[in-house]
Copies of this chain bind each other. A is one copy, B any other.
């Protein structure tokens, strides 16, 4: 029974890793679409977003299946809840990638990001990609150390976000209202993407600790 629970937990975790990879790819494509006005890439993000929503349902169903197989005691409950929260954060990150893609589509064939802001958004999308890469490997390896580093990348995102507003609000800003509104909303999407990544980092720390606990408990009682 304990073995079955373990196996099912790691299956849920496997789905989270897959979800994280798709989310990473979605934001890479959305960022590319944004900076190069690539219509096809922007449309593919919408497909990926739907894929992410399906994966979220898979995680939810597996968690409930797991509870049906063995009603979770408090420690297990915290663990499965953390997994559901990771899935919910990944789903929101997918939504945010889709928001970015939609801005690209709305302005197509003109690039939605004006040349004055291109370097900043290139940097923001690099940080977003770095965060997503760390989430993939932190989830895959139950790596609490890697998960804890996500806070630092989030600081980098916050700095870029502040710079963005400094540029748009300077008296030299030559580009009027529409470009500034796009810039402000895009900035917010990237910032929220990073916030959700940080949330996931915190959940992975809890999961990694709980997994250690479960493994030692299984080791102590031997195979059942």
**Contact surface of A with B, Cβ cutoff 8 Å:** 64-65, 67-68, 71-74, 77-78, 81, 84, 165, 168-169, 173, 176-178, 180-181, 184-185, 188
Contact = CB atoms under 8 A, between A and B. Distances in A.
A188 B186 CA distance: 12
Copies in the complex: 2
A165 B185 CA distance: 12
Given A68-B73, A72-B71, A72-B72, A177 B185 contact: no
- Label chain A's interface by main secondary structure: helix
Given A168-B177, A176-B177, A177-B176, A74 B64 contact: yes
Contact of A71 (B73, B168, B181): B73
Contacts of A180: 177, 180-181
A64 B82 CA distance: 12
Contacts of A169: 177-178, 181
Contacts of A74: 64-65, 67-68
A177 B173 contact: yes
A89 to B, nearest CB: 11
Contacts of A67: 72-74, 77
A211 B77 CA distance: 21
A67 to B, nearest CB: 4
A180 B71 CA distance: 52
A173 B181 CA distance: 13
Nearest to A170: B177
12 contacts: A64-B77, A65-B74, A67-B72, A71-B71, A71-B72, A168-B177, A169-B177, A169-B178, A180-B181, A184-B185, A185-B185, A185-B188
Nearest to A84: B81
Q: Lowest 6 CB-CB distances: which A-B pairs, in order?
A: A71-B71, A68-B74, A67-B77, A177-B180, A181-B184, A67-B74
Contacts of A71: 71-73, 77
Contacts of A78: 64
Contacts of A185: 184-185, 188
Contacts of A188: 185, 188
A173 B178 CA distance: 11
